[in-house]
Structures are given as structure tokens and as C-alpha cells.
Amino acid sequence: MKAIAEQIRLDMQRFSGAGRTWVGVLIFLSAPVIGILLNLVMALTGNDGDDARTALTGLVAGMGIGLIVGLVSGLFVDFSNAAIRLNGLLPITRDHQVFGRYAAVSLLVLVQSCGYAIFYFCVADSFLQGQDHWRATVLFALGLFMSESLLFAVAAPLFYWLEMAKAVIAFLALLGLVPITALVGSWLPFGWGAVWNSIMRFLTSDLWRPVLLGLAVILAADMVSIAISRKVYARKEI
Amino acid sequence: MCASPVMTTSGEEVDYALRVSDLGKSYAKADGTGFRLHQVTMDLPMGYIMGLIGPNGAGKSTLIRLLLNMTRRDSGAISILGRDPLSQEEEVKADLGVVFDSIYFPEAWKVKAVEPVMAPMYPSWDSDRYHDYLRRFGLLENRKIGKLSRGMQMKLMLAVALSHDARLLILDEPTSGLDVLARDELMDILLDYIGDGCHSVLFSTHITADLERVADFVTYINRGSVFYTGPKDELMEAFQIVRGGPDDLAGGQMPHLMGLQRSATGFEALVPTERLKDFLASASPTAMEPSEDRYLVERADFDNIIRLTAGPPAAADKNKEVES
């Protein structure tokens, strides 16, 4: 555990770019904090209509996705230069380096998601218009936590395996498959409306169900991703 | 030619800082070329300095990377400080100090960012000693690592390596970016470091003058194989360099050579000391002068040994040419 904790701290320091733990954390937490501040400014200036708040929510969610991409780049950029050799001399095994990195990212994304929950709770005050405030907040934060975790689970093995540039291309290609698959799926003679309705029913059922399912999906994706990353990284020359 | 260090001194078993046996690693490329580190065996007793020498591409850095688990070995065994670096990697690496030929910290970091990263990794980190080394080496904490000269970057890595009481220092070409004064200072530090008999050093270098001053043992790797490993003095006494004119080398002398370089003005031959007499006796009988006067014979240094034994396969053709 100690080695994994050291790796978590090292990755925080690496992500900061300056060797200081708190800088990396602040950078990553900046999206919901910026959202909360902008929301405050909008409220003070009277520009806090539903459209503006919806746009702000989209902006903050987009920043979150952008930051996870930045986090992945920041953590793996050393793989393309001589600084990767630090991994070879520190008293942390490769397995612990992989576990530590996933734990570091999960921790950061979790803390960031708590920030999103606070942001959403503040912003959504008016435009939820009578809906369950807590449910919407939890689902929003869970949605972002899940999206960012799954993006990392897909990206990490690629970055352990390939050079930086190739990994980015492969990652973007995989992301590109998502809308293509959706487009192809929409052409298929399938009752998508019924599927959508059942998803919405599931999301509006007892809150613990979507939460549990979301966490289970993240856990399963991370387990598979870690297994691949360990195997790939064990063979990598550093 | 291999020699193992003595197993016992006054009847007691020797502690080894490093033991490598039959280590192998192959790289194959799609174009059919590749590199093979073949059955490397060497021992470094505790409390000594071993130099790792050889021409570029001989396999020195590959060997160091194998020691550090930075690349997977195909075969063989490694023991560092009596432990297996695969199954006890964390314990082994906590006792290792490493200096590479280029900096391993992100260049965007400042010098002052290094200690918060490295100190928690090593239970025996000595902050006072680290800052003493920074002062001694003239390293300013607010300088960006990427802005430091290569020599200063090496000193930063050395300060880190020496600040957690590492029992074995592994240095890969540490002197390549240093001027003569800095190299001297490094050699003094290494001699101080092993002074208590509990610390050891393995360092690869092209600057063999450094080795002649501080190394107790030498491992010479040539084309992926160990040419010699053992006490430095034995290697230095094992070979003589013989120089002569362009027509002074006879075919009958060729079996006594370990290496040969010819030019328009003459030849240089590396001859094992125990075969020097045979070499001189095999000189062409038609020559007017006695062989002792025709040849200049002196003890070979490391550079001569490497230069005359590490030639490309074409050197063998040259030998055949002389024989014919």
C-alpha cells in the first residue's frame, strides 16, 4: 500500500508539472470551482436565466472531459522522454506503479466529481423546477465521474502500450467510433424509443440502482483496463 | 578471457554487492539486424569500484538497464546486495543509487522540486546531506532542471543518489559531460563513498583514465559478450602493445595476437603478455635487425585494449591479408 501511495503522490506531482502536489490537484479541481464562481457572477449581474445556466453546466462538463484528457497527457508525457527512467529507479514495482496511477486518477476524478456535485447543486437551484434536487445532483456528478473514469480506462492501456503520438491517435480513433456506432445503430430497425424510455425509467427509479450500476461499470472497466495495462507495462522497456 | 574475483579472503566468504550469471538479452529487428547480450557473468565484491568498459553499442547500457529491471532479461540470474531484484524489487531499489548519462527528472521541474518527490521514496533519506551536496556542487534550488548544464544535471542525480545511503551506486557514463576538475571531484567522492567497505560502485565510462585511477575491478564488454571481468591490475598486466614498421609483421606472428591495427606507417598489435616471447620469436628471420630492436613494446592501457579488440569483423580479414 505504501508503494501505491507513493505512486499516487508522484503522479500528483507529475501532473502539476512543477513537482508540487497541490498544484496538480488545484488544476484538476478548477472546473467545478470555476463553474461555481461563474454562477455567482451570473447571479450577481442578473444574467442567470435558464439558458445561461444550461450553457454554464455544459461548459463545466466539457471542461471536465478536457481536463481528464489533459490529465492523461500530463501523466504519460514522460513516457516519450528520458524522464520515464525515473520509473525504473524508484523503489516502486511496475505493478504498483500501474495500481498507483489508476488510484491517483480515480481519486482525483472522485474529488472533482464532489466539486461537480456542489456546482450542480448551486447552479441547478432554479432550472430543475420542482424535480428532485438531490437525485439530479447525484446523477449529474455520477455521470461525469463515470464518463471520465471510462475515458481513462480506455486511454490508459493505449498510453502504456504505444508512443504518445500513436496513443493519442488510437484514442481519438476509438472515440470516433462512438458516434459512428450510434449513427449505424440509429439506422438499424430497432425500437430505440423503447430503450430510451426504459433507461429513463431506470434513472428515475430508486436512486441507489443507477448509482450502484454506475459504480459497478466503472469498477469492471477499471479491472479490465488495469489487467491490460499491467501486462503491457510489464513488457515495456523504460 | 575471464577471471573471477577471489571467493574468500582469509578464509571468510566475500559479500557481493552484485552478482550476474549467464545474463542474456536479445533484440531482433524486422530488417534482420539486432543485438545480443550473451552469457554475461560478473561479480562485484562489496566495498569496491567496478568499471564497465567497452565500445559504443557493446551492451554496457543494456546491462545496466537489465540490472534495474528497466528491460526484461531473456535468461540468467542477477543478485544485488544478496537479493533478487525481480522478487524484491522495492527493497533492492531502496538500496540503489543511480546516475544516468542524462537527467531523469522532468526538465520543467525546478531543483527544489526534487527533494519533495524523492525524499518520501527512501526511508533513509538524509535531507541535510542532500542540501550539503547541493551547496558543494553549486546547484541553485530555483534553477529549472532543463536549464542546467549536463554536468550540473549529473551532479543533481549524484546528490540524490548519495543522499539516501544507497549501498550500491550504478552510474551510466557519469563523466561524459564533465570537465577534468569535475571528473576528479566525482572520483574523489566515489573513493570516499566506498571507504567504509559497505558501499560499492559500478560505473560505465568511455573515459578510461578515470577507471585507471579509482577502479578495483573491470568488466570489459565487447559485442555483447564479456571479454574480461576481474581485477583491474590483472587486465592491465595481461596485455602488451607492440608497434612496428609496415613490413615488420610476419604471418607466423599472427596466432599470438589478440588484435591488430595496420596503417601505412606500421602496425600496432595487442599481444597477451604470456605470448610476447613467442610473438617476438616468430618474427621474420629474413629481417636484418633482432626483433627486440625492431619493435616498440609497452604495457597496453584500457584504450589500447578496447581499440584493438573491439574492431569490426573486417579486422579479421585484415589479419588474413597479413597471413597471406
What is the spatial distance between Cα A204 and Cα B254, in angstroms, rounded to a whole number? 91
Q: List, in order of start, the domains of chain B with CATH numbers.
A: 8-236 (3.40.50.300), 238-323 (no CATH)
Nearest CA in chain A to B104: A83
Q: Is the pLDDT of residue B33 over 80?
A: no
- Quote the minimal CA–CA distance from A116 to chain B in Å: 30
| CB pair distance less than 8 Å for B71 and A238 | yes
Cell numbers representing residue A210 in the block: 443507477
Neighboring chain B residues of A235 at a CB cutoff of 8 Å:
72
- Quote the minimal CA–CA distance from A15 to chain B in Å: 11
**What's the pLDDT score for residue A125?**
62
Nearest CA in chain A to B96: A89
Of all residues in chain B, the percent with pLDDT exceeding 90 is 37
Q: Is the pLDDT of residue B261 over 60?
A: yes
What is the spatial distance between Cα B192 and Cα A116, in angstroms, rounded to a whole number? 56
Instruction: Answer with the residue of higher pLDDT: B6 or B87.
Output: B87
User: If pLDDT is split at 50, 70 and 90, which confidence band does B317 have?
Assistant: very low
- Burial per residue of B194-233, b for 16 or more beta-carbon CB atoms within 10 angstroms, e otherwise: beeeebbbbbbbbbbebbeebbbbbbbbbbbebbbbbbbe
**What's the pLDDT score for residue A67?**
83
Mean pLDDT of the region B87-105: 91
Instruction: Answer with the residue of higher pLDDT: B13 or A91.
Output: A91
Of all residues in chain A, the percent with pLDDT exceeding 70 is 93
Q: Looking at the partner chain, which of A6, A19, A93 has a beta carbon nearest the beta carbon of B113?
A: A19
> How does DSSP classify residue B157?
H
Neighboring chain A residues of B81 at a CB cutoff of 8 Å:
none
Mean pLDDT of the region B162-167: 92
Strand partners of residue B239 = B272
Lowest mean pLDDT among A28-42, B87-101, B220-234: A28-42
**What's the pLDDT score for residue B275?**
85
Report pLDDT digits (tens) over A77-91: 877 777 788 888 899
DSSP state letters, B50-62: EEEE--TTSSHHH
| CB pair distance less than 8 Å for B69 and A88 | yes
**What's the pLDDT score for residue B4?**
40
Range of the domain at A180: 2-235
User: If pLDDT is split at 50, 70 and 90, which confidence band does B321 have?
Assistant: very low
Mean predicted lDDT score pLDDT of chain B: 84
For chain B, state the CA radius of gyration. 22
> How does DSSP classify residue B209?
H
Report pLDDT digits (tens) over A192-231: 788 888 888 887 778 888 889 999 999 999 999 999 999 9
Q: Looking at the partner chain, which of B72, B93, B113 has a beta carbon nearest the beta carbon of A235?
A: B72
Mean pLDDT of the region B96-104: 90
Structural domain tally of chain A? 1
Burial (CB count within 10 angstroms: exposed 0-12, middle 13-18, buried 19+), residue B260: buried
Strands B75-80 and B16-28: antiparallel
What is the spatial distance between Cα B284 and Cα A203, in angstroms, rounded to a whole number? 99
Q: Is the pLDDT of residue B316 over 60?
A: no
Neighboring chain B residues of A9 at a CB cutoff of 8 Å:
120
Strands B200-204 and B34-45: unpaired
Nearest CA in chain A to B102: A82
Instruction: Answer with the residue of higher pLDDT: B1 or B245.
Output: B245
Q: Looking at the partner chain, which of A10, A92, A237 has a beta carbon nearest the beta carbon of B71?
A: A237
**What's the pLDDT score for residue A231?**
95
| CB pair distance less than 8 Å for A85 and B70 | yes
Closest C-alpha to A29, from A134, A97, A107: A107
**What's the pLDDT score for residue B279?**
83
Lowest mean pLDDT among B33-47, B118-132, B186-200, B306-320: B306-320
| CB pair distance less than 8 Å for A90 and B106 | no
Where do we find the cell 461555481? A36
Total beta-carbon pairs less than 8 A apart between chain A and chain B = 77
What is the spatial distance between Cα A70 and Cα A15, in angstroms, rounded to a whole number? 9
Q: Looking at the partner chain, which of A19, A21, A237 has a beta carbon nearest the beta carbon of B70?
A: A237
**Are A157 and A225 within 8 A, CB to CB?**
yes
| CB pair distance less than 8 Å for B113 and A235 | no
Mean predicted lDDT score pLDDT of chain A: 84
Burial (CB count within 10 angstroms: exposed 0-12, middle 13-18, buried 19+), residue B234: middle
Whether A56 contacts chain B with CB within 8 A: no
- Quote the minimal CA–CA distance from A173 to chain B in Å: 27
Lowest mean pLDDT among A40-44, A73-77, B246-250, B285-289: B285-289
Q: Looking at the partner chain, which of A14, A21, A90 has a beta carbon nearest the beta carbon of B121?
A: A90
Neighboring chain B residues of A13 at a CB cutoff of 8 Å:
113, 116-117
User: If pLDDT is split at 50, 70 and 90, which confidence band does B8 have?
Assistant: very low
| CB pair distance less than 8 Å for B108 and A235 | no
User: If pLDDT is split at 50, 70 and 90, which confidence band does A4 have?
Assistant: confident
Lowest mean pLDDT among A85-99, B232-246, B287-301: B287-301
Instruction: Answer with the residue of higher pLDDT: A70 or B196.
Output: B196
**What's the pLDDT score for residue B313?**
44
Q: Looking at the partner chain, which of B91, B104, B122 has a beta carbon nearest the beta carbon of A86?
A: B104
Helix (H, G, I), strand (E, B) or coil at B303: helix
Q: Looking at the partner chain, which of B70, B96, B120 has a beta carbon nearest the beta carbon of A6?
A: B120
| Secondary structure (H, E, C), chain A | CHHHHHHHHHHHHHHHCCCCHHHHHHHHHHHHHHHHHHHHHHHHHCCCCHHHHHHHHHHHHHHHHHHHHHHHHHHHHHHHCHHHHHHHHCCCCHHHHHHHHHHHHHHHHHHHHHHHHHHHHHHHHHHCCCCCHHHHHHHHHHHHHHHHHHHHHHHHHHHHHCCHHHHHHHHHHHHHHHHHHHHHHHHCCCCHHHHHHHHHHHHCCCCHHHHHHHHHHHHHHHHHHHHHHHHHHHHCCC
Cell numbers representing residue A7 in the block: 505512486
User: If pLDDT is split at 50, 70 and 90, which confidence band does B315 have?
Assistant: very low
Whether B267 contacts chain A with CB within 8 A: no
Where do we find the cell 573513493? B191
In B, residues 102-141, which contact A (CB 8 Å cutoff)?
102-110, 112-114, 116-117, 120-122
Report pLDDT digits (tens) over A147-200: 889 999 999 999 999 988 899 899 889 888 888 888 888 888 777 788 888 888
Helix (H, G, I), strand (E, B) or coil at B205: coil
Q: Is the pLDDT of residue B12 over 70?
A: no
Q: Looking at the partner chain, which of B68, B114, B116 has a beta carbon nearest the beta carbon of A89?
A: B68
- Quote the minimal CA–CA distance from A185 to chain B in Å: 41
**What's the pLDDT score for residue B288?**
54
Closest C-alpha to B42, from B189, B217, B193, B191: B217
User: If pLDDT is split at 50, 70 and 90, which confidence band does A131 have?
Assistant: low
What is the spatial distance between Cα B293 and Cα B295, in angstroms, rounded to a whole number? 6
Report how far Cα A42 is from the mean position of its chain's Cα atoms. Answer: 27
**Are B15 and B6 within 8 A, CB to CB?**
no
Nearest CA in chain B to A85: B104
Q: Is the pLDDT of residue A18 over 70?
A: no
